[in-house]
Amino acid sequence: MDSNNIDFKDLWKKQAVSQPNIEDLMARLKQFKKAGLRSLWKTNILLFATSAFIIFIWYYYQPQFISTKIGIVLAIVAMIMYVGVYNGLLRIYKDIDTNQTNQEYLQKLILIKRKQQFMQSTILSWYFVLLLAGICLYMYEYASRMTVFYALITYGITLLWIGFNWFYMRPKQIKKQQAKINELIVKFEDINKQLD
């Protein structure tokens, strides 16, 4: 009867542990860094161009209402605030290089994750609030010249678009960003555990 007993713990210990492919992991880290830097540059260019366009509209059309001017300022402040904080990630992404240890990679990824969470919660919330207030104030001067029906349609479409971005696009983007960084963090944690 004793010969039929199998020591599962002993078999488990003797089993070959699948080592994560370090070259594959480094390629993923490099791709993550490249995508992060590309996203930073795209955001900077897009928000700079948008701000320049808004300033051009202010200069060219010379709005009369103070609400329009306040709206323009709020929209630009929202973009400057977002880009200013978002650019804090630039240094962290650039600091990731091939000469670091696994522990250093892990620390950088955790730092990026914390910054992303701050961006996704606090900064993005303020960005949307300021942008929403800015757009609504900006539109007031032009909506006041419309009939009530068209003014409601205009505000309705604008609010629907902002709501769509806030409730659908933002959570989807956050989930995607978190999945990418969490996958890398887990893999580096696994490697560090195996090296200990």
One-character DSSP codes across 5-27: ---HHHHHHHSPP----HHHHHH
Question: pLDDT of 17-48, one tens digit each?
Answer: 444 567 788 888 889 999 999 999 999 999 99
- What do you get for the CA distance between the two ends of the chain, in Å? 39
CA count, 13 A, side-chain hemisphere, 15: 9
pTM, two decimals, is: 0.80
What single-letter DSSP state applies at residue 62?
-
Q: How confident is the model at residue 164 (pLDDT cuts 50, 70, 90)?
A: very high
d(CA 61, CA 154): 19
H or E stretch at 51: helix 22-61
Which tokens is 139 given?
């539109």
Residue 8 has pLDDT above 80, yes or no: no
For the chain, give the percent of residues with pLDDT over 90: 64
As given in the structure block, the two tokens for residue 151 are 């003014």
Tokens representing 39 are 């996203």
- State the CB neighbour count (10 A cutoff) for residue 69: 15
- pLDDT tens for 79-128 read 999 999 999 988 888 888 767 787 888 888 999 999 999 999 999 999 99
Q: What is the per-residue pLDDT across 38-75, written as a single tens digit (0 to 9) for each?
A: 999 999 999 999 999 999 999 998 999 999 999 999 99
Are 162 and 128 contacting, i.e. CB atoms less than 8 angstroms apart?
yes
Q: How many CB atoms lie within 10 A of CB 155?
A: 16
d(CA 48, CA 97): 29
**64 phi and psi, to 5 degrees?**
-95, -35
pLDDT value, residue 60: 92
CB 88 within 8 A of CB 25: no
pLDDT at 195: 67
